[in-house]
Structure 1
Amino acid sequence: MTSDDHAIRAEDLRRSYRGGFEAVSGITFSVQYGEIFALLGTNGAGKTSTVELLEGLARPTGGRVRVLGRDPYRERALVRPRTGVMLQEGGFPSDLTVTETLRMWGGCTSGARPAGEALEMVGLASRARVRVKQLSGGERRRLDLALALLGRPDVLFLDEPSTGLDAEGRRDTWELVRSLRDCGTTVLLTTHYLEEAESLADRLAIMHAGRIVTSGTPAEVTASRPSRIRFRLPPGMPVARLPLQLRAAGSDRDRRVEIRAHDLQEALTRLLRWAQQENVRLEGLDARSASLEEAFLEIAQSQAPTGATPAGPTAETAGV
């Protein structure tokens, strides 16, 4: 067994398609052992193309990738038994029961855990004898996850794991992923639910147009974005009366005000002191730090050319 200080490492990774379209344009990142890492991106950013390289499903056009210290494409026979993959769509035989599906997959998996254990982990034990075609969309996603966990993977790839799940199912899945991480499993996650990434990820990277635009912990990624304070002023109180230091934006017509500030505590303290001195009640007062969603949208908008239509394949047409 080779050694590496990271479970996943990509260096100047590139992937091009016929016609010269480069979906992945020289990205570098690493994932530590026992870490949940979220790979996020705008449509067509290159997430799927990147994950396929990490899973060993394709050869990089350029650069280097290592999973568990090995090349996942050239040494696939050594890497694949130690990884679990949850795809966006499992494609199960519809007439098999849930248990039969797990047993069939387990027959192709080294050291597979018992089917019943996997079903308990994902909350499908009560559906063991139900045919796959009778499962709801959310239940099929749970079955996808159960199959990915059969081999007790050291590295787990999760592609949109909570799509189709209700709120309770999503929270249960999050708890399971955290428990796997706590037991030493390395998880690489792609998701369109930014709340999911913010809640689960120890670190993350955001891709756009084949490149990594920003990376770090969720707190680090959002730290450079301003916090937000929203409220409504009482009738007859113009926005111009607010302290100049707060740099407020609003309308006297609907009385709604929004303040952006990098120091939320200082701005909120100044606002409340002003309101007390002026005997003003701030209706619907809402103060919060920047969210990952706001950071993501800011990146997407700032990177998009004004009035331009993206050239080349998109995520929907090229699977990138």
Structure 2
Amino acid sequence: MNARVAAPAWGLFVLVAQILLPLTVRDRLPDPLATHWGPGARPDGSMPFTAYVAMVVLVWVVPWLGLLAAARAQSHRQGRMFWWGVLFGMGVFAFGMNVTTVLANLDAPDWGEARLPGWAVLAVVGAALATALAAGYLGRGAPDEPAPAGLRPPLLPLRAGQRTVWVGHVANGWLSLITAVAGAAIAVLAALFLAGIVPVVPALLVLAVLVLVLVLGVLTSSVSVRAGDDRVVIQFGPLGWPVRRIPLSKIESAWAEVRHPSRVGGWGIRGLPGSATIMLRGGECLVLGYRGGGQLAISIDDAARGASLINALIAERVEL
């Protein structure tokens, strides 16, 4: 697919659909409209019609413009799959939620009488995921060029019986900041809840999101890699947990390679099993090539030295 043509065309199509759908049935909708549902499929939040139309436009336009700005950076297959998947999946999700909201309010005498069945939301999420997977597959393009042989570092010379360990570390300041902000927000929210200022249901929903951000931030704001003896050990977060141990017997070779978030679809743990990247910052990465095929790339400092030691340890095992 040609991103220069398909992305603007798809975006404009979704934008027009987002606006025309509520306008077409304007005389059959209450004003305000029900826009949020609580337990029992009963509405517990509403919005004026004009504000609703503006909201559904922004819900789509903001991510669409962001994706358009990042279109030229998708030069690698994994990044292209993520980009196309998000573009079309987000479009289906945004329009699907608009459809379910309009249908729930259709011909309702008052927004309090609108009903939204739970299966409708699940159907929208399922359709968006299916569309994202299909778009990512169709937009994947040609396979990436293999890493040039010159990128593979020479073996680190080891004396007979010498035991050497390499440790690399990297941290993402922005992820650490987001984690700290989430922790502070949890404390503020807890104080407001205890003071009776924030209602129970909204407080719990926001708290769940903040806790998720906090946990993910703690686990992915930094990573350490240790190579030595018969394994490569990857430790996440300031506590060094969780831990992933990869035996050298599963690694064919290692090398250093420059990768950027645009290549792999963003920061964090990206990709699928067998072809994944732990991306905390753009630049030098340690790439482990598995004997059974596939790779694992880790953005880490001093990756070339670590790769040379891993290759030396692998060669030592072969000689034994």
More contact order relative to length (CA 8 Å, sep ≥ 6): 1
Question: Rg bigger for which structure?
Answer: 2
Structure (1/2) with the larger helix percentage: 2
**TM-score class, shorter:** under 0.3
